Amino acid sequence: MKINTKQITVTAVLLAICIISQFFKNASVYITGPIINACLILAVLSVGLTCGIILSVITPITAYFITGSPIISAIPAIMPCIMIGNIIMVFFIYLLKNKPNSKWGLPLSMVIGSIMKALFMGVSISLILIPMLLPEKMLPKMSVFQTTFSITQLIAAIIGCVYAYLIWIPLKKLSKLD
């Protein structure tokens, strides 16, 4: 698939917003997570699935380099699961956003995408990787890590959906992107 100048530009701007937000991750994942999820969603809505997937892969890498997550250092297999979770969310939004004759197509696609992302990450990371691979010295924090990669992901994705929807409504009207 050929990527045009508009797609590159919009994806770069959204990536810059993601990177800036990642500097606040240590303050709260409820700041960074929703912003990143909103950017992933806006990428899909404004410039397509390919750009949403590109951001889905790049943002966990930049987050790791900016914040240096100890859990990902201990269990590197978490990184591809985060990427896949993001891709699942943007795919469901892309697939379901334009349901015919439905004003609820986009919000419903966002909720379904968020749930599918959280389910995938909850099972793959919280129920499989963490219990199997968590170093013994980190065992006291297991429940925190499991919550972070399941319930917290769902909450951050849903908040990101609200942000993206509120931004998309006027953006769509202004620029006729859809």
Classified as helix, coil or strand, 178 is coil
| Tens of pLDDT, residues 114-140 | 999 999 999 999 999 999 999 999 999
Q: Which residues contact 111 (CB under 8 A, 6 or more apart)?
A: 158, 161
14, 66, 77, 1: CA torsion to nearest 10: 30
- Domain over 5-175 is classified CATH 1.10.1760.20: yes
Task: Give percent of the chain with pLDDT exceeding 70.
Answer: 95
Rounded-to-integer distance, Cα 13 and Cα 128, Å = 35
Q: pLDDT-based confidence at 177, cuts 50/70/90? A: very low
Residues near 147 by beta carbon (within 8 Å), at least 6 away in sequence:
126
| In contact, 88 and 52? CB cutoff 8 Å | no
Q: How far apart are CA 80 and CA 61, in angstroms?
A: 10
Share of the chain above pLDDT 90, in %: 78
Is 19's pLDDT higher than 50?
Answer: yes
Place of tokens 């997937």: 53
Which helix (H) or strand (E) segment is 117 a member of? helix 105-121
Tens of pLDDT, residue by residue over 95-117, are 988 766 567 788 999 999 999 99
Contact 106, 42 (CB under 8 A): no
* Domain range list for the chain: 5-175
Alpha-carbon distance of 84 to 80, in angstroms, equals 6
pLDDT at residue 29 is higher than 90? no
Decide if 90 contacts 50 (C-beta within 8 A).
no
